[in-house]
Structure 1
Amino acid sequence: MNELQTILADSVNGLLAERVTRDLIQKAEDGTWPEDLWNELEANGLTRVLAPEAEGGAGGTWADAAIVLKAAGRHVAPLPLAEAVLAHWLLAESGIPAPDGVLTVMEGNFALAGGKLSGTAPRVPWGRNAAHGVALVGAEIVLAPLAGAAIAPDINVAREPRDAVTLKNVTVQSASVALPENALRLFGALIRACQMAGALDYLAAQTVAYANERTQFGKPIGKFQAIQQQLAVLATQAAAAGIAADHACASLNKGDAAFEIAVAKIRADDASSIATSIAHQVHGAIGFTYEHGLHFATRRLWSWRAEFGAGAEWAESLGRETIARGADALWPYVTAR
């Protein structure tokens, strides 16, 4: 780790470990907005890790941001921290000054005309809590105030807000950017892959700890070979997802990383299916109860799999690209990455 990464790791992990309690997550799932924690995250500059220093950011790279994003997943923070990191980066890329307050990203069917935005974005993360939303309309990044938006509340499996946001002739700021047409979905997939890698780390640590505490037939269940085998598979899946996410972030620092991001999301989705199954089998019934924190991570993993493109969607995209290049180009393309 470099100096900035060390500072980020100490700051975000220390803050979330101290403040994200079971009680806070339960209240957030019941609709209570943890404003104090959000204010602390903003005060520490963690939402602006990718923003330039001249704009009050840390001037970090995506490798630096990965530390914050994975921590958000590891501590299952009930806040749009990942979405805010992405939104601030998009605004910085477009040269639009970032406003104060909660930021989220909106992927929907929008029309921009005469500086006014109209349309609807389904399942906007934390839409009801956000002051502004960032969208990509054609080749333009758009910053839209949400004070006058029509909000239709909805939630995901983890009971996180995923609201439909409708705007009608809302005055916005916009600027052209040199980003892929699917940039919002692409980089959204990256932030989810990082969050999922963090949640998988938590899952592995929590399951190993439980297996060493829970006794059966006079000894911890973690001493049984069958359980050890499953724990090894879980740890392997978590490690693979983490490496794929880190590699995608590092590749993005160098330029085009669409291939690596697709791989990271596919790998995180596959790992989540396997790891959550093992974790709940090892924990048994206790893992589903509100007296235990396991389900806070597994329900988010199940939800995040489907967001910004499921693994199957990204796999199909890679398959189509491979066919278009031809069989002879596949191996050189993969090894060149």
Structure 2
Amino acid sequence: MTDSLLDGFERPLRELCTVEALRRIEAGEGAGALWAQIDALGYTDALMPAELGGAGLALADTHPLFFAAGRAGLSLPFAETAVARALLASAGHQPGGGCIVIAAAAMTDGDAVICHDVQDAALSEFVLVSRTGEWLLLPRAAAEFVPGAYRPALSADTLRWSDAGHAVFRFPVQGADGVVIHNALQAAAMAGTMARVTDLTVLYANDRKQFGRAIGKFQAVQQDIAVLASQAATAEMASRLGCASAGPLPDPLLAATAMLRACEAAARVASIAHAVHGAIGMTEEHELGLFTRRLHESRSAGAHVRCAATLGREVLARRGMPVVDFVRTHLAAAA
């Protein structure tokens, strides 16, 4: 993506996603007005085919947009809406202008459609759910909503529809399902969030003075910040890997790799950032919590465990192949 195209998204995003605006959305206010302004920028249709009114970009091209949204702290599901619109448009359905989150249905014996740990679900108009080989476009308002622990006004611990008949549109899953898409997009958002946490930590370390000098001048603090920055950087590189696709859908193994690295990095980034900030970083008044809370929420769903299991099964299925060769031939080569 050219710098000018990215700048056309980042500049208005910085102006719209002020700390005050983010706090209002966390409290469940003002999301509709903010989404109207974000959607009006036109980037939400970047993945839609050009013949259907989009820009026809590949997922790899749009990674900088998803990263920028995470860095800005945008709670609205921008990346998921962009992918969902591309899928729906290609299937012959007019997606409309509202937010859409992407999820995977849990395995159940009955007719109910149940999704767990759906971030930013309260901000969405629809949920695009992958279930037993097909996509279901379900209205979020028709679901039973159990709030999540970290951001109860925005995210759902559980969404439950009584049956699949609530779907307003359904079509076959071709390629990546809800789990794979979530891994790739969430990794990009988390990487952007970690970049913002790094910026806040460096700024605070340079401003906060102790014993007559900035705490960022102390070697122990410098060491911590170096570790934090390296973790954030590897998460960004992994998120690029997760979105390294010439089409609108990610590769399952690359997406799992990206999410695993993002979750591992997020734990250390959040911990070090709060250690450097001290008690002030835990207060409601400081903006750090807006970003670290999102990192903890993303990790709490256990995606890193599932991603590690996915990669482990692939390695074990290739008996006798060294792990280094697996990475070289099935991960790096694919990217």
User: Quick one: which amino acid aligns to residue 78 of structure 2?
Assistant: L
1:209-228 matched pairs, under 5 angstroms: 209-228=203-222
- Gapped runs of 5+ residues in structure 2? none
1:1-337 matched pairs, under 5 angstroms: 1-2=1-2, 6-7=4-5, 9-109=6-106, 119-147=113-141, 149-159=142-152, 160-162=154-156, 164-168=159-163, 169-180=165-176, 183-251=177-245, 253=247, 257-307=251-301, 309-328=302-321, 330-336=323-329, 337=333
| Distance apart, 1:252 and its partner CA | 5.7
CA-atom RMSD in angstroms:
2.4
Distance (whole Å) between structure 2 residues aligned to residue 250 and residue 156 of structure 1: 32
| Distance apart, 1:196 and its partner CA | 0.6
Distance (whole Å) between structure 1 residues aligned to residue 18 and residue 308 of structure 2: 36
Change (3 A) 1:118 1:61: same
Look up the SS of the partner of 2:285 in the other structure. Answer: coil
Distance (whole Å) between structure 1 residues aligned to residue 103 and residue 244 of structure 2: 25
- The alignment's TM-score, normalised by the length of structure 1, stands at 0.88
Across the two proteins, how many residue pairs are aligned to each other?
A: 325
User: Quick one: which amino acid aligns to residue 189 of structure 1?
Assistant: N
Distance (whole Å) between structure 2 residues aligned to residue 277 and residue 129 of structure 1: 28
Change (3 A) 1:125 1:255: closer
Distance (whole Å) between structure 2 residues aligned to residue 165 and residue 273 of structure 1: 30
Moved more, 258-267 or 274-283: 258-267
Answer whether contact 2:106 2:114 (CA < 8 A) is retained: yes
Distance (whole Å) between structure 1 residues aligned to residue 314 and residue 206 of structure 2: 46
| Distance apart, 1:87 and its partner CA | 1.6
Moved more, 257-266 or 232-241: 257-266
Answer whether contact 2:202 2:225 (CA < 8 A) is retained: yes
Look up the SS of the partner of 1:269 in the other structure. Answer: helix
Distance (whole Å) between structure 2 residues aligned to residue 71 and residue 256 of structure 1: 19
Query: Which residue matches 1:114?
Result: none
User: Quick one: which amino acid aligns to residue 195 of structure 1?
Assistant: A
Change (3 A) 1:329 1:284: closer
Answer whether contact 1:94 1:177 (CA < 8 A) is retained: no
- The alignment's TM-score, normalised by the length of structure 2, stands at 0.88
| Distance apart, 1:167 and its partner CA | 4.3
Answer whether contact 1:132 1:145 (CA < 8 A) is retained: yes
Moved more, 267-276 or 164-173: 164-173
User: Quick one: which amino acid aligns to residue 159 of structure 2?
Assistant: A
